[in-house]
Structure formats: C-alpha cells, structure tokens
Amino acid sequence: MSILGGGIFKGMKVTLWNFVLSYFRRDRLTTNDYSWRPDGDLPQGIGDYPKEEGEQLSDTTTVTNYSRNFPMLLHDGGEPMDTVRCVACQICERECPPQCIYIEKDYDENGKYIKRPAVFDIDVSVCMSCQICVEVCPFDAIVMNSQFELSTPDRFGGLLVRRDDLLKSNDYYHQIHPEEAAARDQKMAVEKAAKEAKKKAAAEKAKAAAEKKAAEAAMGDAE
C-alpha cells in the first residue's frame, strides 16, 4: 500500500522540478516555441499548415507522442479518398458525447452506397478529446491528432474541420504516435491474417464439397 497522499507528493516533486529546470534549460519552455515558421509568425488558420506528406510539423514535434487534441481520418497512402479507411458507418457520430461529428454517406451514380464518407465534419470547438470515437471505430479509421495551433479569426466556421482537412496518411500517424501506430498496424495485420485464413479454410471446404459432389455425380453417371 502506498503512503497516504503519496500521489500528491509525487506531483509536487514533478512541478518543483519543472519550476527549477525552467530557469536553466530554455528548451523546456515548449509552449513558447514557434521555431517551425521561418519568419517566426503565428499561423493564421487551420488551413495554414504544411499539408505535404512527410513535412515535419513542428508543433507536433515539441509535444510528446502521447498528446492528443482532435481526431483525424486515416488513409493508407496515395490518393486520400481512394485508400480512406472510413466507411461512413456513423458509429463514432452516434457515440460522440458532445455530438461534434457530422457524417454523410457517399452514393455513386446509381444511388448505391459506396463505402466512403461524402461529408465528415468535426466541430473542434465542441470536441472534448475524449477518444471515444477512436475506441469504437471498427475499422481503425479515426485516431487522435496532436496539432494544437488551431486559432482562427473566423468565429462561425473557422473551427469546423472538413473531411479533406481531416484526412492524414498512416505515415503521418506513425510520425506523431509511433508506438500507437505500430500497435494498430500489428492488430490490423493479425486481423487480416485471421480473415485470410478463414477465407482459405472456407474456400478449401467449398472445394472439398464441390469435389465430393463431382465425385458423387461421376459415380452416379458411372452407374
């Protein structure tokens, strides 16, 4: 059993250490760092971020790989809407406690439902970063991003993040949350292998049943 109030003392030690070291090591002052902008200016809006694949986002390199802010949609490389994992099943929309997600399914020319979202909006001013959407997604399509420089002068639509801004590649996910991304990839690989094995077993069983039927038909023919 731990000492009564031991957690409080541990916390106080951490804050004291923070206080003392902030005088000696300048790089501990993480929230003052705008080093990624060449001119040192503040960003003006959400779209103002480097969006090319692989470009380092400094506001995520100064935070740890456990930090999270609001969600992002994953795609597996290439053209985002071709390899997006989200199928617009709307489970995260229903489970979200403050109901900040708005999803519309995508239909092709014949009116059939194709498995992509046409509209996927998250109101970041409402999102409380609870991660419930990440926990319930059956396709591992939505995970937490750690960008935090989101201020915008537009009061009414500025904090509504649309689908195209939410799509980020799996490589970016590996960059910001390496352990979590690796664990998720491994889980997906295991599931895929299990599915493949099941399909193979079912195909073998079907082949065996078909052979048996052919053999019976042949026997019936022979008689």
Partner 1 sequence: MSLVLIDILIATVPLMLIFASLFAFTTWLERKALARIQNRIGPNKVGIPCTRISLFGLGQPAADGIKMLFKEDIVPRGADRLFHLLAPILALIPAMLVLCFLPLEFPWTKSLLPVQAFLLDGAVIFFFAITGLNTLAVFMAGWASRNKYSLLGGMRAVAQMVSYEIPLVLSAVIVVMMVGSLNAADIVKEQTGWNWYVFSPWGLAAFVIFFIASLAETNRSPFDLPEAESEIIAGYFTEYSGFKFALFFLGEYIAMFAISGLAVTLFLGGGDGPGLAAAPWLSVVWFLAKIFALIAVMIWLRGTLPRLRVDQLMGFAWKFMLPLSILNILVAGFAWHAQQQNSKTITVITWVISLAILYGTASGLNQLNRGSVRPRKYKYAE
- Nearer residue to partner 1 within complex by CB, 18 or 35: 18
- Under rule CB under 8 A, residue 110 binds partner 1: no
- Number of residues engaging partner 1 in binding (CB under 8 A): 24
Query: Is 128 an interacting residue with respect to partner 1 (CB under 8 A)?
Result: no
Classified as helix, coil or strand, 115 is strand
- The yes or no reply on residue 210 touching partner 1 (CB under 8 A) is no
CB of 22 to partner 1, least distance (A): 5
Nearer to partner 1 (CB atom), residue 36 or residue 172: 36
Assess contact for 127 and 72: CB atoms under 8 A: no
Among 19, 41, 156, 223, binds partner 1 (CB under 8 A): 19
Cβ–Cβ under 8 Å, residues 77 and 83: yes
- Closest to partner 1 by CB, 136 vs 150, is 136
Of 24, 31, 41, 111, the residue at the interface with partner 1 (CB under 8 A) is 31
Task: Establish if 12 lies at the interface with partner 1 (CB under 8 A).
Answer: yes
Q: Which of 35, 37, 64, 94 binds partner 1 (CB under 8 A)?
A: 94
| Site for partner 1 contains 18 (CB under 8 A) | yes
- Find residue 120's DSSP bridge partners: 103
Strand order in the sheet with 101-107: 101-107, 113-123, 160-161
Secondary structure of residue 155 in the 3-state scheme: coil
129: left (phi over 0), alpha (psi -120 to 50) or beta: left
CB 111 within 8 A of CB 129: no
